[in-house]
């Protein structure tokens, strides 16, 4: 069986970025800022900007956080590229890293273009709401879970 190459993992990251940006472009063309549509009893589509990070961390800061999160994501992306090169012959680790890289860069694009991240997936149970998120956030979360799974299932 042929081993995956770094280019395979970079293509996956690019696919995550494209899917993320396409979904956000569709949302912004179909919704106005703040608009919400109920899809099911537990899921809504909304159009919100998150100027902070996960769970709106630092979203009320004066604006410096935009550049801080861009710089942080770019530094982490460089580190991820190094790890992807080192582990390109494996399966799970570079898969996880590719998802995180694509998600991080998808959100960087938002910060550069819009000054904030576009979020639109909004899950809830009754009146208990999970913060809105997007495709990039989903890829990052899945990637982190895969990395943790690999670390905890690794044989000593």
Mapped onto helix, strand or coil, the DSSP state of residue 124 is: strand
| Euclidean distance between CA atoms 139 and 91, whole angstroms | 16
136 contacts: CB under 8 Å, gap ≥ 6: 16, 17, 20, 102, 103, 104, 105, 106, 107, 110, 117
Determine, yes or no, domain membership for 143: yes
Report the pLDDT value the prediction gives residue 55, as an integer from 0 to 100: 54
Catalytic, out of 20, 110, 119, 126: 119
Determine, yes or no, domain membership for 14: no
Determine, yes or no, domain membership for 31: no
Determine, yes or no, domain membership for 88: yes
Structural domain of 149: 71-156
For the chain, percent of residues with pLDDT exceeding 90: 69
Determine, yes or no, domain membership for 24: no
137 tagged catalytic: yes
pLDDT 10s digits, 82-132: 999 998 888 899 999 999 999 999 999 999 999 999 999 999 998 888 899
When divided into structural domains, the chain yields a total of 1
8 contacts: CB under 8 Å, gap ≥ 6: 88
pLDDT 10s digits, 18-74: 999 999 999 999 999 999 999 999 999 999 998 766 655 555 555 677 778 789 899
Q: SS3 helix, strand, coil % of the chain, rounded to 5?
A: 60, 15, 25
Name the strands in the sheet holding 43-50, side by side, starting at the edge strand that comes first in the sequence: 36-40, 43-50, 117-125, 128-129
Closest C-alpha among 103, 134, 127 to residue 28: 134
């Amino acid at each position: 069986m042929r081993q995956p190459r770094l280019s395979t993992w970079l293509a996956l990251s690019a696919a995550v970025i494209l899917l993320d940006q396409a979904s956000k472009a569709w949302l912004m063309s179909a919704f106005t800022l703040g608009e919400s549509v109920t899809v099911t009893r537990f899921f809504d589509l909304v159009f919100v900007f998150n100027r902070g990070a996960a769970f709106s961390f630092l979203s009320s800061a004066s604006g410096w956080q935009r550049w801080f999160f861009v710089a942080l994501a770019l530094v982490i992306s460089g580190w991820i590229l190094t790890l992807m090169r080192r582990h390109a012959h494996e399966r799970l680790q570079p898969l996880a890293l590719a998802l995180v890289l694509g998600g991080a860069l998808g959100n960087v694009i938002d910060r550069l273009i819009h000054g904030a991240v576009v979020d639109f997936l909004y899950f809830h149970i009754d009146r208990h709401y999970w913060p809105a998120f997007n495709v990039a956030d989903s890829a990052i979360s899945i990637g982190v879970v895969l990395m943790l799974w690999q670390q905890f299932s690794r044989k000593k």
